[in-house]
Amino acid sequence: MEVLERNKKQIVKARKLTVNPLESEAIYIFREVVAQFEKPVLLFSGGKDSITLVRLAQKAFYPGKIPFPLLHIDTGHNFPETIEFRDRLVKELGVELIVRNVQDSIDQGKVMEETGRYASRNSLQTTTLLDALEEFKFDAAIGGARRDEEKARAKERIFSVRDDFGQWDEKNQRPELFDHLNGKIDLGQNVRVFPISNWTELDVWSYIEKENIEIPSIYFAHKRKTFVRDGMIWSAEDNVVFRDKDELVEERLVRFRTVGDMSCTAAVLSDAITIDKVVAEIRESTISERGARIDDKRSEAAMEKRKQQGYF
């Protein structure tokens, strides 16, 4: 019995915390945010990146609760699966969820609905986001943007200072050295914080797999009414996208690689119904994740321009 007890102790002794450098970095960043800012908020879209952020935040403050609310800028064109997932997650975690609607910004006459066959509410989000940050006096908005997503995002700092118009001054960013994150800002300014800056799409998926994190069902292959435009597969299930008569609706087996606004997120053909199959598919893919984001194709500098205006 004594021998057994000793063996058990040795087993416990061997339990050394080994490091996933990306996870450790993200947790460090979360803790800096909470320590350095008065009123942080986590921008939550219900997509895989913000879901990963939520798990990392949980880890950073355990056994305490996540010490800031989640903010969802709802374009009104979300996939219903995402909204259902969002509400369930928030309930489980017992965190506060704030929702602000792009529709309200439209109704207030602050932004104008786009027209035409490429009309999207994606860029309209910026105004609603900036208004929400001002309304609640949030001084740090944590987002799931990654530098590998897009070439303008590759230029982003982890603590990215925005002026009181929400603008990103890409040519005059603060140097960021070692782990010494400078969160000092003037009243009215805010900081966008990107804890998973250094993660790649595959890192996120591998993490979701390893941690067994639940994600909305649209990330997995399902049958969906779709049509093809410009070589991309668009969802035809909701009346969000104006469809030409010759754009035929067909049922296809698809999944989504990113979960943005329905009006600008294309699906990919896939039969991946489990997380390991999704990871395998991403590993083999020859198209980048943003290749399925229709609004990024508007011009070579689409993302940079949106970021200058306060997009996250």
Options 178, 223, 239, 244; binder of another protein; rule CB under 8 A: 178
Residue pair 118/301 in contact (Cβ under 8 Å)? The answer is no
DSSP state of 287: S
**C-beta of 218: minimal distance to another protein in Å?**
21
Options 103, 173, 217, 309; binder of another protein; rule CB under 8 A: 173
Tokens of 117: 């066959």
Distances in Å between the Cα of 84 and the Cα atoms of 58, 246, 254, 297 are: 21, 33, 20, 29
Stretch that binds another protein, among 131-139, 179-187, 251-259, 265-273 (CB under 8 A): 179-187
Residue pair 196/49 in contact (Cβ under 8 Å)? The answer is yes
Q: Binding to another protein (CB under 8 A): which residues in 59-78?
A: 59-65
- Rounded to the nearest 10 degrees, the angle between the axes of helix 201-211 and helix 275-284 is 160
Regarding 154 and contact with another protein (CB under 8 A), the answer is yes
Options 1, 4, 35, 112; binder of another protein; rule CB under 8 A: 35
DSSP state of 6: H
Residue pair 259/235 in contact (Cβ under 8 Å)? The answer is no
Nearer to another protein, 83 or 213 (CB): 213
Nearer to another protein, 86 or 147 (CB): 147
**C-beta of 299: minimal distance to another protein in Å?**
10
Query: Total residues at the site for another protein (CB under 8 A)?
Result: 62
Q: Binding to another protein (CB under 8 A): which residues in 184-223?
A: 184-186, 197-198, 200, 202-203
Stretch that binds another protein, among 53-61, 78-86, 219-227, 272-280 (CB under 8 A): 53-61
Phi, psi of 4 (to 5 degrees): -60, -45
Stretch that binds another protein, among 107-115, 259-267, 269-277, 280-288 (CB under 8 A): 280-288
Regarding 6 and contact with another protein (CB under 8 A), the answer is no
Residue pair 104/87 in contact (Cβ under 8 Å)? The answer is no
Q: Is 307 helix (H, G, I), strand (E, B) or coil?
A: helix
Nearer to another protein, 26 or 221 (CB): 26
How remote is the C-alpha of 14 from its chain's centroid?
Answer: 37
Regarding 151 and contact with another protein (CB under 8 A), the answer is yes
**C-beta of 205: minimal distance to another protein in Å?**
13
What CA dihedral angle connects 224, 226, 231 and 232, to 10 degrees? -60
**C-beta of 79: minimal distance to another protein in Å?**
23
CA angle 137, 124, 192 (to 5 degrees): 40
Could you tell me which residues come within 8 angstroms of residue 218 by beta carbon, excluding any fewer than 6 positions away? 79, 81, 82, 255, 256, 259
Tokens of 68: 């800031």
Q: Are strands 267-269 and 222-229 parallel, antiparallel or unpaired?
A: unpaired
Options 2, 21, 115, 246; binder of another protein; rule CB under 8 A: 21
Options 115, 175, 230, 239; binder of another protein; rule CB under 8 A: 175
Residues that bind another protein (CB under 8 A): 12-19, 21-25, 27-28, 31-32, 34-35, 58-65, 147-148, 150-155, 170-171, 173-180, 182, 184-186, 197-198, 200, 202-203, 285-288, 291, 300-301, 304
